[in-house]
């Protein structure tokens, strides 16, 4: 396991290439056991487990020109889908400041980034996870040029560590198919600092679909960052942490033994607990919409009638993720399009190993 100090970087200016151009991409991820609540600098209150998606990605190109002397802040321009975005610029400034000690070479360059998502930005898919993971990959590619002797294990851990300093869930978007982030006493190698790959997936989980039903597009009323902060004083904080830690073990057992029923039970309990935390925060808030509840109820009815192992999860928003084995793809599609009349209002993605 690596410690924070292991990621501090020392170098000579002469080691830096004059120019650096690269393209990095990273997928979004969907949490099974949710990261909800932070401590310190972007460290999770509890361990989380996620599936890494395949098609919903951020693709970013970076061009860096070496400066004659380092600037005191990172100099950059950033275009998202061809346009400047002041909200992104603020997030990026914070990110560069946080990673300065670990990637000090970035201040020796003037950077230009161009980024786009393969999914609609307004769709509510966590683009900060894929966005910061893509940035972390590119920065670490420059580091790999300077330190080619670094091991692949170190490289992956530090990429996740850097991504985490942009957005917590981004720590889990640097590899797959299943990622664990956050120290767990019963799981060796887990760390609050970065996520690790878990690959003991049973055959039953080798290809899993995630249909993301877009209930609400656009910016959420309450950001995840605000939601995390409300967990600090939450009346159910300690209970939430202990339940999450137990569910991580149960989830990994279900994934290892191929138990869809247990997996689905935890998946749905976690989604509803996440929203229950929001509804019982001070101030309280609600991100589900009437349509979210309608879809959940219809899903429960459909599952009862058909016995198809299709389950839902939610992120910090109103959209519903339907998670099911790939073999049921056509049946679920028909159900969505003919019974629920959802037509094209969903994104089809999958997890594969
Ligand atoms: C509900 O990673 O978006 O999606 O660290 O403040 O950027 P920041 O928060 P973020 O929180 C994600 C919360 C979640 C659950 C999860 O993905 O585990």
DSSP for 209-238, please give it: EEEEE-S--S--SS-HHHHHHHTTT-TTHH
Which of 174, 316, 319 to probe ligand 1 with, by most ligand atoms within 8 A of CB? 316
Atom number of ligand 1 nearest to Cα 228: 6
List, in order, residues 6 or more apart from 148 with CB less than 8 Å away.
Answer: none
Q: Which atom of ligand 1 is nearest to the CA of 38?
A: 5
Q: Measured in angstroms, how far is the CA atom of residue 145 from the centroid of ligand 1?
A: 31
Residue 44 DSSP SS3: strand
Q: Could you give the 3-state DSSP secondary structure of residue 24?
A: strand
- CA 66 to the chain's CA centroid: 31
| Cα 286 from Cα 316, distance rounded (Å) | 10
The predicted structure's pLDDT at residue 344: 64
Q: How far is residue 301 from each of residues 8, 154, 296, 341, measured CA to CA in Å?
A: 53, 47, 9, 16
- Per this entry, what is the length of the chain? 353
Question: For residue 251, with 0-12 CB atoms within 10 Å meaning exposed, 13-18 middle and 19 or more buried, which class applies?
Answer: buried
Tens of each residue's pLDDT in the chain, 353 residues: 999 999 999 999 999 999 999 999 999 999 999 999 999 999 999 999 999 999 999 999 999 999 999 999 999 999 999 999 888 899 999 999 999 999 999 999 999 999 999 987 666 666 799 999 999 999 999 999 999 999 999 999 999 999 999 999 999 999 999 999 999 999 999 999 999 999 999 999 999 999 999 998 776 788 899 999 999 999 999 999 999 999 999 999 999 999 999 999 999 999 999 999 999 999 999 999 999 999 999 999 999 999 999 999 999 999 999 999 999 999 999 999 988 887 668 999 999 87
Question: What pTM did the predictor assign?
Answer: 0.96
Which DSSP string do the residues of 55-115 spell out, in sequence order?
A: EEEEEEEEEEEE-SS--SS-EEEEEETTB--HHHHHHHHHHHHHHTTT-GGGGGEEEEEEE
* Spacing, Cα 35 to ligand 1 middle (Å): 6
Q: Which of these, 99, 90, 201, lies nearest to 143 by C-alpha position?
A: 99
The ligand 1 atom nearest the CA atom of 167: 7
Q: Determine the distance separating the centroid of ligand 1 and the alpha carbon of 228, expressed in angstroms.
A: 8
Specify the residue with its C-alpha closest to ligand 1, atom 6: 225
Torsion sign over Cα 337, 338, 342, 343? positive
CA gap 244, 48 in Å, rounded: 8
Number of Cβ atoms within 10 Å of the Cβ of 195: 36
How many A from CA of 40 to the centre of ligand 1?
A: 15
Neighbour tally for 153: CB within 10 Å: 11
Q: Which of 31, 35, 195, 212 to mutate to test the pocket of ligand 1 (most atoms within 8 A of CB)?
A: 35
Measured from the Cα of 48, ligand 1's closest atom is 18
Q: Which atom of ligand 1 is nearest to the CA of 33?
A: 18
Q: Using the atom order of ligand 1, give the atom closest to the CA of residue 169.
A: 2
Which residue lies with its CA nearest to atom 4 of ligand 1? 315
Ligand 1 pocket mutation pick from 169, 225, 231 by most atoms within 8 angstroms of CB: 169
Q: Specify which residues 312 forms β-bridges with.
A: 322
The CA 36 to ligand 1 mean position distance, Å, reads 7
> Which has the closest alpha carbon to 171: 185, 183, 157?
157
| pLDDT at 249 (0 to 100) | 98
Give the residue, out of 58, 128, 192, 224, with the most ligand 1 atoms within 8 A of its beta carbon, to mutate for a pocket test: 224
So what's the pLDDT on residue 111? 97
Q: Tell me the CA–centroid distance for residue 272 and ligand 1, in Å.
A: 15
Measured from CB, residues less than 6 Å from any atom of ligand 1 are 31, 34-35, 42, 48, 126, 128, 167-169, 224-225, 228, 274, 315-316
Q: Ligand 1: which atom is nearest the Cα of residue 164?
A: 5
Would you state the pLDDT for residue 125?
A: 67
Tell me how far apart the alpha carbons of residues 147 and 131 are, in angstroms, rounded to a whole number: 24
Beta bridge pairs of residue 27: 57
Q: Distance between alpha carbon 89 and the CA centroid of its chain, in Å? A: 20
Using an 8 Å Cβ cutoff, are 4 and 183 in contact? no
How far CA 154 is from CA of 5, 7, 23, in Å, comes to 13, 9, 21
């Amino acid at each position: 396991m690596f410690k924070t100090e292991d990621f501090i970087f020392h170098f000579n200016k002469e080691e830096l290439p004059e120019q650096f151009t690269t393209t990095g991409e990273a997928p979004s991820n969907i949490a099974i056991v949710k990261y909800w609540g932070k401590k310190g600098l972007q460290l999770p209150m509890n361990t989380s487990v996620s599936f890494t998606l395949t098609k919903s990605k951020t693709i970013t190109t970076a061009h860096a020109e070496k400066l004659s002397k380092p600037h005191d802040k990172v100099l950059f321009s950033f275009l998202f889908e061809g346009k400047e975005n002041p909200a992104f610029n603020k997030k990026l400034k914070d990110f560069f400041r946080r990673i300065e000690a670990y990637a000090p070479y970035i201040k020796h360059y003037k950077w230009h980034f161009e980024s786009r998502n393969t999914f609609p930005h307004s769709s509510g898919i966590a683009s900060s996870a894929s966005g910061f993971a893509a940035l972390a990959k590119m920065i670490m590619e420059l580091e790999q040029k300077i330190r080619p002797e670094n091991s692949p294990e170190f490289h992956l851990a530090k990429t996740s560590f850097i991504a985490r300093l942009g957005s917590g869930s981004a720590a889990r978007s640097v590899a797959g198919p299943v990622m664990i982030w956050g120290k767990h006493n019963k799981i060796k190698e887990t760390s609050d600092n970065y996520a690790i790959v878990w690959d003991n997936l049973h055959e039953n989980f080798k290809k899993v679909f995630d249909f993301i039903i877009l209930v609400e597009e656009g910016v959420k009323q309450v950001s995840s960052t605000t939601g995390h902060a409300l967990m600090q004083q939450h009346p159910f904080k300690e209970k939430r942490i202990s339940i999450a830690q137990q569910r991580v073990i149960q989830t990994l057992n279900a994934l290892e033994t191929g138990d869809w029923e247990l997996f689905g039970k935890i998946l749905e309990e976690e989604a509803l607990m996440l929203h229950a935390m929001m509804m019982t925060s001070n101030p309280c808030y609600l991100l589900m919409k009437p349509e979210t509840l309608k879809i959940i109820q219809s899903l429960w009815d459909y599952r009862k009638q058909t016995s198809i192992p299709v389950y839902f999860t939610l992120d910090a928003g109103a959209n519903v993720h339907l998670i099911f084995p790939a073999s049921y793809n056509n049946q679920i599609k028909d159900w969505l399009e003919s019974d629920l009349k959802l037509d094209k209002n969903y994104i089809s993605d999958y997890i594969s190993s």
